[in-house]
Structure 1
């Protein structure tokens, strides 16, 4: 008997994934719960196990294809997986089964296989038409509108952006509205608001091949999602960036001394881990920097947990794993967890739970270079800290010219929530903590 293996739910707000790698081929015999392919979602690569044992009869997608939740991805021949035994017994079983099917179940089987199709198709068709028919009903009875087809997370996301889900046509299964639909709707509204001074739609690209050879390279699912997220953040949040320098001369001495005595197998204390711990201390002092803005309700959501995202550059794109409950962890614990998450990110083994729930983000370009930059806030957060390469600079200390190691810091923030004075206080406080390592360690 052939069984269709459909793509199961991968997580909240995940409507589709991209086939990164096929782990089986047609004709392969597989066991139950064997991984059959790797799927790339918005921020992670996941191995997909198949609950059915048998022989892969047909693979319906190729590497690089996008697969929607509920789509048939494999056809499995389960009969081929039956354990081999005495041939006469197998033939008898097959004959008995055939006789049983010919006696009476054949019509019933036809009903059970064909009848559900129209029953399932009807609700899907109805759901797919709902978003286009509903607006006419809303005009006459706005208070009696049925709830739009969307999950709780998508509803929360729409509320944060002040979007009416009834105005959106869903692209998910059965017309379901997913987060990407909300983001696309917001971008479309922003791009089409030229008449009121808003953004204009980007003009079409020219034919670059007329100037010379070109090559087109398809963006991965991860890169496309990152591009959409950055576009949404830049268009929704009024960005301002506050720059400052932190004197980390003494901190670097203490850090290097510790590293030299901890041995090669000891924890690697990085500037990112130290800055992360310092930021958590400031976030407890300035709770509105650890918040999100709900424009629909006119409320500021103050989060009483401190999950810090850290941008990690990989060969496959930028990912942001999250240090959960950083306020409860020491610098050494944070450094060790950062190293583990960064390694998993490079090996594409991060799971979605390790990249969700961030309340504040840090991105460190110090190992690459640069004197300053303007990081984009990771919506729906309200601030992000960028660190650049520390450089020795001359400074007057008690009337004497001395060399000091100065690290550039760039705090980008949502000006609707954080004003310039508070942003300046944040970086000044951070600079003071980094300049006095004992004071920082005393609060670990």
Structure 2
């Protein structure tokens, strides 16, 4: 029996993917879990497996195409009774199973009244999802809000429907602060919804010479969208400092002599220091939820480490970094970087970060302003260390100085706290033996 295979769910917030390679052709026999195509989505390259065994009879996509979740990939002629399990998916759609459709088709007219039931059920479900308050979602819009005339006047002036505002006062009474909070939530939603549409028109560049246009790949589109969102949502502030890493380099040389196979880098030391710092400064390991006027403090520490690849910048995440030794962190960072650059990271490798580290020291530079990886609230950038004169014990000495650049969300973190955090990190980088390595 013919069966349509569609692009499955790829993760929260992922709606599209770019086809890199189609791995089968019409007439090919496939088995369950055999890769059908390779796609690139949300900073990861993944393979889409076959949910059933059979023979490929038609392919609906091609390499280079952008496809949506639920879109038809290909059709197969299934083998064996396993086809019955997947039949309900294609059945309700167009017309291939028309021969089997008449019996069910004649049943609905006979049960015309019950057909109205499913129509009302989703209506109630949608109402409960739309309501922000779980208690009595259906009665809130019907009953007029309890509010003073001055509160109602403010709501009218700023365009807020007073009957949709959750009241925090006695008996659900709506106050001025409730109206203002509702307006802030509406503005935040409006800004995030409207931002992607704002794009200035470009001039005709061909007027001044030949041009070439190439389509953006999925990874490039994702990075562009997220960077725009982060820049327009987060009020960025960047502060800079320098760390004297003389002791760190001495410790690194000693460990290299005892464990030459250990891929010990400055990045590994920085991740260990950051994991400890995030415990001391939990506001850097948090996110802002403006729809509920809350700060979300995460009781886990997952540090993303930016990796430069041929496909672009990818940020795999070191999970539970605070529970791992320096040796474990070094090995895991090196392994993840190799995986990302060769076979590609999985979705799990890229999710769940609470703070990001980006190290451009291998490329050069004396400092930069990294963009916060929203919805995180801070990111630390490292540049290339270089000898610099430092005044020590009444004389100047050449010391390896590591530039640090901390960008943060000024809505949650003020400058004084950021300086303390950066000084704490700098001090531990200068004296790594203070950490439990």
Distance 1:32 1:362 in 2: 40
Match of 1:259 in 2: 256
Q: What is the alpha-carbon distance in structure 2 between the residues aligned to residue 72 and residue 188 of structure 1?
A: 28
Q: Is this contact kept in 1: 2:41–2:218, CA < 8 A?
A: yes
Find the partner of 2:372 among 364, 373, 377.
Answer: 377
Q: Which residue of 2 aligns with 1:274?
A: 269
Q: Does the C-alpha gap of structure 1 residues 435 and 112 become closer, same or farther in structure 2, counting only changes over 3 Å?
A: farther
| 2-structure distance, mates of 1:295, 1:43 | 27
Cα distance in 2 between the residues matched to 1:303 and 1:233:
20
Deviations 1:291-319 (A, max 9, x none): 11122222211111111111111111111
Matched with 1:178 is none
Q: SS of the counterpart of 2:356?
A: strand
Candidates 298, 301, 307, aligned match of 2:293: 298
Indicate the SS of the match to 2:63: coil
Change in Cα spacing, 1:117 to 1:223, as seen in structure 2 (3 Å) is: farther
| Residue 108 of structure 1, CA deviation | 5.9
Alignment of 1:432-443 (within 5 A): 432-440=427-435, 443=436
Find the aligned partners of 2:247 and 2:6 in 1 and give their Cα distance: 58
Show structure 1 runs of 5+ residues with no match.
83-105, 146-158, 168-181, 193-200
C-alpha separation in 2, matches of 1:259 and 1:426: 29
Deviations 1:191-238 (A, max 9, x none): 88xxxxxxxx44211111221121112111111111111111111111
| SS class of match (1:373) | coil
List runs of 5+ in structure 2 lacking aligned partners.
82-96, 110-114, 131-137, 143-160, 166-180
SS across alignment from 1:254: helix
Mapping of 1:131-150 within 5 angstroms? Answer: none
Contact 2:262 2:327 in 1 (8 A): yes
1:122-168 deviation digits (Å, cap 9, x = unpaired): 98xx99xx99xx9xx9x9767699xxxxxxxxxxxxx9x9756xx9x
Residue 284 of structure 2, aligned match among 278, 289, 293: 289
Q: Within 5 Å, which residues of 2 pair with 1:213-232?
A: 213-232=210-229
TM-score (norm 1): 0.75
The equivalent residue for 2:55 is 55
The one-character-per-residue Cα deviations of 1:25-62 (angstroms, maximum 9, x if unpaired) are: 22222222211101211121111111222221111011
Q: 1:369 to 1:241 in 2, by over 3 A?
A: same
2: CA distance, partners of 1:116 / 1:277? 65
Say which of 206, 209, 228 aligns to 1:209: 206
Query: Aligned with 1:45: secondary structure?
Result: strand
CA drift at 1:261: 3.4
For the residue of structure 1 that corresponds to 2:352, the secondary structure is coil
Distance 1:370 1:256, change over 3 A: same
CA distance in 2, matches of 1:399, 1:117: 93
- Kept in 2, the 8 Å contact 1:362–1:386? The answer is yes
Helix, strand or coil: the match of 2:4? strand
Taking a change above 3 Å as real, the CA distance of residues 191 and 29 of structure 1, as seen in their structure-2 partners, is closer
Match of 1:89 in 2: none
**Partner Cα separation in structure 2 for residue 438 and residue 208 of structure 1:** 57
SS state at 1:253 partner: helix
3-state SS, counterpart of residue 283 of structure 2: helix
SS of the counterpart of 2:428? helix
Aligned pair partner of 1:388 in 383, 386, 390: 383
Aligned length, in residue pairs: 368
Q: Residue 44 of structure 1 contacts residue 348 of structure 1 at CA under 8 Å; is this kept in 2?
A: no
Pick aligned residue for 1:249 from 246, 250, 265: 246
SS of structure 2 residue aligned to 1:381: coil
Helix, strand or coil at the partner of 1:384: strand
8 A contact 2:185–2:290 mirrored in 1: no
Q: Aligned pair in 2 of structure 1 residues 73, 391: CA closer, same or farther (>3 Å)?
A: same
1:244-278 CA distances to partner (integer Å, 9 max, x unpaired)? 00000121122123223323xx2211111101111
